[in-house]
Homo-oligomer: A and B are copies of this chain.
Amino acid sequence: MVSNKFFAIVAGVGPGTGRSVAIRFSEAYPVVLLARSPESYNSVVAEINKAGRKAIGITADATDESSLKSAFETIKKELPDLKLAATIYNVRPNSRPSRKPFLELTLEDLDTSLNGNIRGLFNFAQSILPLLLGSVEHSPQPPTLIVTGATASIRGSAKWSVIAAGKSGQRILTQSLAREFGPLGVHVAHAIIDGGIDVPDATHYPRNEGTPDNRISPYAIAESYWYLHTQHKSAFTQELDLRPFIEHF
């Protein structure tokens, strides 16, 4: 049953992780989807609403303070009586330089990574943490912030320099938030997604079954995020890894 007291926010929505996580959390909460363009969330919002649950899409850029501020004003207007229970930061930088020799990269490539991975999370966390703190006494599950990491979050591979700089900074920022806000009752967790993500067609849900062996099912990621959200406060996970069973690591 969908809550009429709490809602969730998924920042960063595309056809993979963002969509699956939004769908999974919509089984319990109205969900707000944030993305830089409506094309990213429109079909997911429609899919959730069509299923009789509730989703709202808002165009916002987490790397832009005023854009995010305006998004949270819209949220307040649209869901005036709901408290925030769960948030997922799943933003991908605007563009990702492919694996590239360091000397061919530009400062702009670096900034794209720092913006999407670190500055966006900083802004988002500053917006949502006061709301999550306000839910600690009320929420059936500990209020939660989950951040989507990657292999590059813990490893600077050759030619992944700017992506790794952004993802590792994001990871340690998340860890710092976990240490500060955990004792206040907010669960902050980081997931290291170690592998390529399948983009399933939307005809079934959930649809782990069709996932090729070398891909991660985004539905499985969504289940893990939901599990993190429902962990009892006596046993919070700060970090877990997720990878296909055949993945070399």
A residues whose Cβ falls under 8 Å from a Cβ of B? 65, 101-103, 105, 107, 110-111, 114, 118-119, 122-123, 125-126, 129-130, 142, 152, 155-162, 164-183, 185, 187, 198, 208, 211, 213, 215-217, 219-221, 223-224, 227, 231-247, 249
User: Assuming the A-B contacts A169-B165, A233-B244, are A176 and B198 also in contact, with contact meaning beta carbons closer than 8 angstroms in the complex?
Assistant: no
Partner of A240, one of B118, B156, B239: B239
Knowing A155-B172, A168-B169, the reply to whether A177 touches B245 (Cβ < 8 A) is: no
Measured CB to CB, the nearest residue on chain B to A209 is B232
Given A107-B123, A235-B243; A164-B173 close (CB under 8 Å): yes
Cβ-closest 9 pairs across A and B? A169-B169, A156-B176, A156-B175, A220-B235, A168-B172, A158-B179, A161-B176, A156-B172, A240-B240
Q: How far is the CB of A169 from chain B (nearest CB, A)?
A: 3
Are A238 and B246 interface neighbours, CB within 8 A? Answer: no
**Cβ-neighbour of A245 out of B122, B169, B185, B221 (below 8 A):** B185
A-B contact pairs, 22 of them (CB 8 A): A102-B129, A102-B180, A107-B123, A114-B169, A142-B245, A155-B172, A156-B172, A161-B173, A165-B176, A168-B169, A198-B234, A211-B232, A211-B234, A213-B234, A217-B235, A220-B235, A227-B227, A233-B245, A235-B242, A237-B242, A239-B240, A240-B240
For A235, give its contact among B118, B165, B221 (CB under 8 Å). Answer: B221
* A211 (CB) vs chain B CBs: closest residue: B234
Q: Which residue of B lies closest to A164 (CB)?
A: B172
A125 to B165, CA, bound (A): 14
Contact yes or no, A224 B249, CB < 8 A: no
B236 near A243: Cβ-Cβ < 8 Å = yes
A240: which B residues are within 8 A, CB to CB? 237, 239-241
Q: Hey, which chain B residues are within 8 Å of A224, CB to CB? A: 231, 235, 237
Given contacts A180-B101, A183-B245, A235-B243, A171 and B168 within 8 Å (CB-CB) = yes
